[in-house]
Amino acid sequence: MTHLLDLRGTPCPVNFIRTRLALEAVAAGDSLQVDLDGGEPERLVAEGLRAEGHGVELSANDDGSVRLLIRRHGG
């Protein structure tokens, strides 16, 4: 199951905190799709989640934002 979260326009580090809180509601092995602004938000959130052991795939959106597909570790 994939859960969705749109954090475009959300500043750092609030976007990372909201992503981590949303991941707590996701079962291990399930995915969370997060839309973020490109640049620093993309880098900080993706690096922080990878450091915690989550799988993170990144793709660009047409509007300059990015989409992270995060697979929660532990499953």
Please report, in tens digits, the pLDDT of each residue of the chain (75 residues total): 789 999 999 999 999 999 999 999 999 889 999 999 999 999 999 999 999 999 999 999 999 999 999 999 875
Q: Are 35 and 69 in contact (CB under 8 A)?
A: no
Going from N- to C-terminal start, the domains of the chain cover 2-71
Q: Are 69 and 56 in contact (CB under 8 A)?
A: yes
Q: What per-residue confidence (pLDDT) applies to 55?
A: 95
Q: Are 68 and 38 in contact (CB under 8 A)?
A: no
Superfamily of domain 2-71: TusA-like domain (3.30.110.40)
Q: What per-residue confidence (pLDDT) applies to 1?
A: 79
Amino acid residing at 75: G
Q: What per-residue confidence (pLDDT) applies to 75?
A: 54
Q: What per-residue confidence (pLDDT) applies to 29?
A: 87
